[in-house]
Amino acid sequence: MAKRFLAYLSKRNVAVEVAKPADVESYLRKELRRFRRLRQRRPTALGSWHHKRTAPIHLLLRTVQRDWPPIVPPTTPLELFHQQLLDGCARWLADCRGLAAQTIVARRGQWQQFLNWLEERGSQERLRDLSVADLDAYLQFRAQSVRRSTRAELALGLRSFVAYLYHRGFLARDLSQTITGPTMYAFEGIPSALTREQIAIVVEFARKDRTPSGLRTFAIVMLLAEYGLRAGEVVCLRLEDIDWRQECLRIRHSKTGAETTLPLIPSVGCPAGLLAAGPSKNGGPRGLCSAPGPSRAAAQGLQPLPPDSTIAGQGRNHSGRETGAAHVPSCTCCKPVARRGAPESDRRHSGPPVCGFDPALSQTGDRGPTRRCA
């Protein structure tokens, strides 16, 4: 959105360093016309649509111009009166209540919106006629598209401003006691972080699903639990980003666009290896979230790797024997990993050793415990 705004300024020959609020409003009107032309309707929630487009633009302009939005000096008697009210309430909260400067700045914006909503009723002569019905109407107007926590902040900020108006004698009676916000409950929102015990419960729950789609879910959960990846980074992750021989994982960061190479953890490599064994519809790059998954027999045979095992099947196999040869896919679940038409020396397992095949036993004719994943 910020790039489109910069392109709009460039077409109008306006530098971003001298952009004004009128330029932002003009751009929003253009975007609204474009939205209606493409979709043949207005946005369902105009306030939310407006916020999604102005938030990145304001962040860009605050970075470039520092003081954004610019302070416009009052020009009318009503604007001058409002400016005096805002300055006086800010000093009152700082001196008498000891509120932090950032809190006062945030509430000042709320007071300004309330005075703008009152329009002519916010003059010094008509402010004494302010009633409870006016306060309720304003709170209902602001609470249409905000969360409960934001509604509580709006009620708290308006209560302090109305208390100041009564303290200065602009109101006939104290209306601040009539302003109540929504009840806030402890732990009512989604937790921002999970504890180790909660993560273990989620991982164990995902491990129980042995279907192909369940295996894909388990691989995604392990990526989130072990590496702490963002949702966008998991979505952009492809099976080709896993280097089985070097035992590393390439991550594309969704925010910065940079790439990071991380060591491949066995608990993540095992389910991802079974996804690599699944079919590919068009032979192109396969995303981890869109991988069709392996056969049901392979998914049900998933076993956790021992702690001292490696991902590519070199060093130690599942039975713990020292082996110098890589695993040659020959069982039901590992055969799809081999590249068709390649010589046997190159058809080494490109994924983790998900079956019980032991190259050491193959020299004596014993194929291990079974030809399928156990």
Same domain, 226 and 307: yes
- CA distances in angstroms from 291 to 121, 237, 286, listed in the order given: 61, 11, 6
Residues 223 and 301 occupy one common structural domain: yes
Question: Quick one: pLDDT at residue 297?
Answer: 45
Cβ-contact 333, 295 below 8 angstroms: yes
In a shared domain, residues 167 and 234: no
How many angstroms separate the CA atoms of 138 and 144, rounded? 10
pTM of the model: 0.47
3-state SS, residue 90: helix
Coil vs helix vs strand at 287: strand
Residues 218 and 355 in one domain: yes
Report the run of H or E that residue 57 belongs to, with start and end: helix 46-65
Spatial distance between the Cα atoms of 65 and 19, rounded to a whole number of angstroms: 9
pLDDT attached to residue 270: 66
Closest CA to 324 of 354, 362, 355: 362
* 356 and 287 within one domain: yes
| Pair 241, 295 in one domain | yes
Range of the structural domain that residue 17 is part of: 2-65
Give pLDDT, residue 216.
Answer: 82
In terms of domains, do 7 and 141 share one? no
**How far, CA to CA in Å, does 369 sit from each of 271, 313, 361, 374?**
21, 17, 10, 8
- Res 157: pLDDT: 93
221 with 258, same domain: the answer is yes
208 and 258 co-located in one domain = yes
Ranges under pLDDT 70 in the chain: 191, 255, 269-374
Rg over CA atoms, the chain: 31
3-state helix, strand, coil in the chain (%, to 5): 50, 5, 45
Q: How many domains does the chain have?
A: 3
The helices-and-strands tally (H runs, E runs) of the chain is: 13, 5
pLDDT of residue 292: 54
pLDDT at 271: 63
CB–CB of 219/272 below 8 Å?
yes
Domain boundary among 41, 65, 89: 65
Same domain, 60 and 89: no
Residue 144 and residue 207 in one domain = no
Asked whether residue 209 is domain-assigned, the answer is yes
> Rounded CA gap, 336 and 349, in Å?
10
- Are residue 85 and residue 56 in the same domain, yes or no? no
Instruction: Please report, for the domain that includes residue 148, its CATH number.
Output: 1.10.150.130
Residue at 370 is within a domain: no
